[in-house]
Structure 1
C-alpha cells in the first residue's frame, strides 16, 4: 500500500515538473516611442489592442517592454538598447527618428523591426519599395492622401484661396509631406505658403508669417504637433482655423477640424505585421501597409468655429462628426 502511494506521489511530482518544463515564457514585444503624445499613444494603443485580438494578450502570453525618448533625439539609442536588453521577439518603432536610429542601435539583426507613423519608409531608407519589406524593417506607413485632405478642405472652407503649413526641414517625414502637399495644392487650385520651423521655440514667431492665409494645415509632424498650443495661440488671434492631421487636440479646443487616417488603425496595421513576424515570417516576406480612404475620418468643433467667427458649411450639419 505504501509502495503504491509513493509511486503515485513520484508520478504526480514528475507530471508537475513536466508541465513546468513545458510552460512557455511570454513573448517579449518591445515598443520604442519618440515621446508621450496623444497621436503616438493612440498608435501604441491600437497596436496592443490588435495584437490582443490576434491572440497575443498582455500579461498572459506576451509582455510589452516600453520606453520613450521624451522627444529628445540623443536619448533614442539609449531607449533602444534598454529594450534590446530584454531580448524581444519584435520591436515596434514609433516615428521616423526612432525607426532610423534602430537600424544601427539595435545590434541583434535577428530581431525584426516594425515601424509606424512614418510618411515615406522608402525615402527614410527602411524598405526598398512599397511592395516589399526591408532586411530588417516592415511596417504601417502614415502616407497621407493629400488630394483627399485638400478636397475635404475645400468643402469645410469653401471660400479658401490660400493655406499655410509649418514643417520641420530636419524631419524626413516633413520634407516628404511637403513635396506631396505642393502637388496636391496645385491640383486643388489652392495657393500654399510653407514656413519652416527648426525648433519648438520658433513656432509662435514663424506662425505669424501665416497671418494672410485662410486656414492652416497642421501636418503630422512630431515637432509641429507637439507645439500645437503655441501655434494655435497665434492663429486664434488672427481668427484662422486649423485643419489638423491629428485628431486628439480637437477635443481639447485647440483646432477647429481634423481629417486624418486613424492613428489607432495605423497601429492595428502594424500589429498585424508584427503577428506575422512572431509566427516566423521574415520582414522581406511582407509589404508596408498604407492607410486607405476608409481609414480617414473627420472631426469638427462647432465651438471652435464659433470662437473664430466662422460658419460650419450647411453640408456638414447632419454629419456624425461633431465633437461638441
Structure 2
C-alpha cells in the first residue's frame, strides 16, 4: 500500500509538471504581450554615434508602434563605457531584475547577454557575425533566444570606393580592438579581399581606448589610407584619429556614416538609425508571441554612400563627379 501510494503521488507530480510546465511555455508569450508594462533592458558596450543611433532608432520605432517608455514599456538603459567586465555585470543585472527583453547593442553586449541568459529573449543589433560570435546557430533560423539585426558591411564595396576615389593608393592601415570579435572578423575579411584589389594591409591591434594614441602613431608613416572597421573602441575616438590622419594627409575610409561625421573622407556603410528601427520590429514580433529561435537574422539591404567634402578639400582630393552626385554630403558633422 505504501509503495502504491508513493507511485500514485509520483505520477500525480509528473502529470502536474507536464501540464503546468507546458502551460508556462505557452503562456510566457501571452504574458509578455498582455503585460501592462513590458520591461526592456538596453545594454550598450560604449558611447559613440553609430551605437547611439541604433538605440535611438529602436526607442523611436517602439514609440511609433505604440510602445512608449513610461507608459506600457519601461526602459532601463545601461552603458558599459567600453569595459568588458561592466557589460557582463549589466546583462547579469537585467537577468536578476527579470527583464522581459534585453536589447543588446554591439557584439560584446550580445555575447554578454547570451552568456547571462538562455531564457530571456535577446534582441541583438550592431553585431557583425552572430554565428561566428556564438549567439545563434544559423542566419536562417536562430535556434537560440537571440534574434535581431547584423551590421555586417561590405568590405568589397569600400575597397571599390578606395579604387575609385584614391587611385594609386596601395597600403591600408587598420586599427582595431583585438577583444572585439566583430573587428577580428572584419580584419580577416579585409586581408583576404586586399589580395584581389592589390592592396597591402598593415594592421595594429589595441586592447582599449588608451592604446589608440601610441598604436596610431606607430603606423601612420607606413600607410597611404586608414580604413576604420565597425569597431566600437576605435569609433569612440574618431575625432582624435581623423585629426592625426589629416595632419599626415592620410585619408580615412570608414564603415559607417558616423565615421564620416567624425572626420573620415567617405564610406559605403549602413544607417544605424534604420538598423535600430529594424531591431525594434524584431522586438515587437517577440512581444506578439514569436519565438526568437525561429527567426532569421536581418541585414540592411542597402548601403549609404557618404562623403565629407570639407575633408576632401583639406586633403586636396578630387571626388569623382559620379560619386559626388549620388553621395550624401556631410559637412561639419552634419548633412
TM over 0.5: yes
In structure 2, what is the equivalent of residue 300 of structure 1? 307
Offset at 1:320? 4.7
8 Å contact from structure 1 (residues 27, 89) kept in 2: yes
8 Å contact from structure 1 (residues 225, 246) kept in 2: no
1:143-222 to 2 correspondences below 5 Å: 143-208=152-217, 209-222=219-232
Verify: 1:311 aligned to 2:318, yes or no: yes
8 Å contact from structure 1 (residues 195, 206) kept in 2: yes
Offset at 1:297? 0.8
Distance in 1 (alpha carbons) for counterparts of 2:104 and 2:320: 40
Offset at 1:318? 2.8
8 Å contact from structure 2 (residues 220, 248) kept in 1: no
Verify: 1:233 aligned to 2:282, yes or no: no
Offset at 1:217? 0.8
Verify: 1:89 aligned to 2:96, yes or no: no
Distance in 2 (alpha carbons) for counterparts of 1:315 and 1:213: 27
Offset at 1:111? 1.4
8 Å contact from structure 1 (residues 28, 86) kept in 2: no
Offset at 1:260? 0.8
Bigger shift: residues 311-320 or 235-244: 311-320
Distance in 1 (alpha carbons) for counterparts of 2:306 and 2:267: 5
Distance in 1 (alpha carbons) for counterparts of 2:259 and 2:156: 23
Distance in 2 (alpha carbons) for counterparts of 1:215 and 1:156: 11
Offset at 1:86? 4.3
8 Å contact from structure 1 (residues 167, 197) kept in 2: yes
Match of 2:54 among 36, 43, 53: 43
8 Å contact from structure 2 (residues 43, 103) kept in 1: yes
Offset at 1:249? 4.6
Counterpart secondary structure, 1:125? coil
Distance in 1 (alpha carbons) for counterparts of 2:273 and 2:46: 16
Distance in 2 (alpha carbons) for counterparts of 1:223 and 1:36: 9
Superposition TM-score, scaled by structure 2 size: 0.82
1:259-298 to 2 correspondences below 5 Å: 259-292=268-301, 294=302, 296-298=303-305
Structure 1: which 5+ residue stretches go unaligned? Answer: 1-22
Structure 2: which 5+ residue stretches go unaligned? Answer: 1-33
Distance in 1 (alpha carbons) for counterparts of 2:275 and 2:250: 29
Distance in 2 (alpha carbons) for counterparts of 1:138 and 1:77: 19
Number of equivalent positions: 297
Cα distance change, pair 177–251 in 1 and its aligned pair in 2 (3 A):
closer
Verify: 1:130 aligned to 2:158, yes or no: no
Bigger shift: residues 94-103 or 187-196: 187-196
Distance in 2 (alpha carbons) for counterparts of 1:175 and 1:114: 22
Cα distance change, pair 46–154 in 1 and its aligned pair in 2 (3 A):
same
C-alpha distance after superposition, 1:218-241 (max 9, x if no partner): 111012111223322321221001
8 Å contact from structure 2 (residues 143, 294) kept in 1: no
8 Å contact from structure 2 (residues 58, 280) kept in 1: yes
Counterpart secondary structure, 1:289? strand
